[in-house]
Copies of this chain bind each other. A is one copy, B any other.
Amino acid sequence: MAPTKITGCSVRDIRFPTSLEKDGSDAMNLAPDYSCPYVVLKTDSALEGHGITFTVGKGNEIVCHAVTVLSKMVVGQSLDTIYGNFGMFWRSLTSEDQMRWLGPEKGVMHLAVAALTNALWDLWAKIEGKPLWKLLVDMEPEKLVSTIDFRYMMDALTPQEAIDMLKKARNGREKREKEMQENGFPCYTTSCGWLGYEDDKIKKLCKEALAEGITRFKAKVGADLADDKRRCRLLRDLIGPKNILLVDANQRWEVQESIDWMKELVDCNITWIEEPTSPDDILGHQEIAKALVPLGIGVATGEQCQNRIMFKQFIKAGAMQFCQIDACRLGGVSECVAVILMACKYGVPICPHGGGVGLCELIQHLSIFDYIAVSASLENRMTEYLDHLHQHFKNPCVMNRGNYVPPKAPGYSIDMKEESLAEYEWPKGKVWQKLIAQGAYTVE
């Protein structure tokens, strides 16, 4: 029987003790424990929608709380109501009369919207029996555009323009889909360049990555200029002159400081500086881009860009040369599609944010959709890949010589293994109970 309505919602607080390994250490995030509220939407059939948003540990329980509160607007709804006009349903979640004050469309509430709507899209793809990217690629342009809330976007993109873009991109679609199936979508790796890693570890990881066919590498910078110069030089020498080197400051700098610091690294031939300063500072990024683009360095940002309204401004202002959407920071798939369409219109390549837990599983769908059905270009496009925590997923992303292989299983690749969920549920899971008993963590 096909499902007809949402009958229940469960939320679990899942955390991984990644800070013990210094995975993910950078100039701003000293010791993240990759975490997610894990949402399961039940239906009146056997099908379930699974969804997550991503956090780095503490406070994950606050987002779980917000999901629980918002889920009351989803449970009991018919799938006709939800999927019949998804854009309007999405707005009912983000713009609920009273709760809108808590954002609007940002922070904890928007992370919660992401978890819930990612689950709804996962369910949609499972109902259609397709991986999410294929659901998006096959959807009629009018239907896909109707999933988007265009509020506050109309000065950058209208629904009709979006439909026209999608129709135009139908040309050559089958060829590009075949190409994706054969070659996959290009990625870059951040696994080699964390701040906390010793040089020997960097060398070993780089060598392994090169052997796997990876040609794009990202390093964390921003804590110490002399150390950054040394490490960027080390990486450039390790990867050779032709491969791509990216750096990421994780919001460590002021505006002028960003410009001055990056000028010191210019001879390492760096393609982008990621998150030089506050994710809220559109005009600051614009100023940085004006100074650095003539030196061959673009500005990349987006993993903490709160919504389509901020992306609209970054894109229109020339404040980002690379658009790093985050599948869990934006309010789910349809807001990501909105940004993908705006970025395409203004000629800014989409390079999604990966890593954490589950982000790589999600973003591969978005990049593959972008290439096949929107931008039709791979120029300057690359999607982040990190080799962490994939073992916990039922259908982890698959790499082939540095490229994401298009997922085949129906859904959004979010489903985690039940044993992982049980072991890593904070604080009662077996892994956490052991760490708490050892005194490595405390429950406050």
- Which A residues lie at the B interface, using CB under 8 A? 28-33, 55-59, 61-63, 65-66, 69, 72, 96-111, 151-152, 154-155, 251, 254-257, 277-284, 287, 304, 306-307, 309-310, 312-313, 316-317, 444
Closest Cβ–Cβ distance, residue A320 to chain B (whole Å): 14
- Please tell me if the beta carbons of A98 and B57 are within 8 angstroms of each other in the complex: yes
B residues less than 8 Å from A31 (CB atoms) = 97-98
- Please tell me if the beta carbons of B109 and A152 are within 8 angstroms of each other in the complex: no
Q: Is the interface of A mostly helix, strand, loop or mixed?
A: loop
Residue of B nearest to A155 (CB): B255
Indicate which residue in B109, B313, B317, B444 contacts A107 across the interface (CB closer than 8 Å): B109
B residues less than 8 Å from A307 (CB atoms) = 280
Other 16 A-B pairs with CB < 8 A, given A32-B98, A56-B97, A151-B278: A29-B101, A30-B97, A57-B98, A59-B66, A62-B65, A62-B102, A62-B108, A69-B444, A101-B304, A105-B280, A155-B254, A282-B283, A282-B313, A283-B313, A283-B317, A284-B313
- Please tell me if the beta carbons of A155 and B287 are within 8 angstroms of each other in the complex: yes
B residues less than 8 Å from A101 (CB atoms) = 29, 32, 55-56, 59, 304
User: How far, in whole Å, are A69 and B60 apart by their CA atoms in the complex?
Assistant: 11
B residues less than 8 Å from A104 (CB atoms) = 251, 278-279, 304
B residues less than 8 Å from A444 (CB atoms) = 69, 72
Residue of B nearest to A316 (CB): B283
- Please tell me if the beta carbons of A254 and B152 are within 8 angstroms of each other in the complex: yes
- When A97-B30, A102-B62 are in contact, do A154 and B283 touch as well, CB less than 8 Å? no
User: How far, in whole Å, are A66 and B309 apart by their CA atoms in the complex?
Assistant: 25
Sample 28 A-B pairs with CB under 8 A, ordered by A number: A28-B100, A30-B97, A32-B101, A55-B101, A55-B102, A56-B98, A58-B69, A58-B98, A59-B66, A59-B69, A59-B98, A59-B99, A59-B101, A61-B65, A62-B69, A101-B304, A104-B251, A104-B278, A104-B279, A104-B304, A106-B106, A107-B110, A151-B278, A154-B255, A155-B284, A280-B313, A281-B309, A281-B313
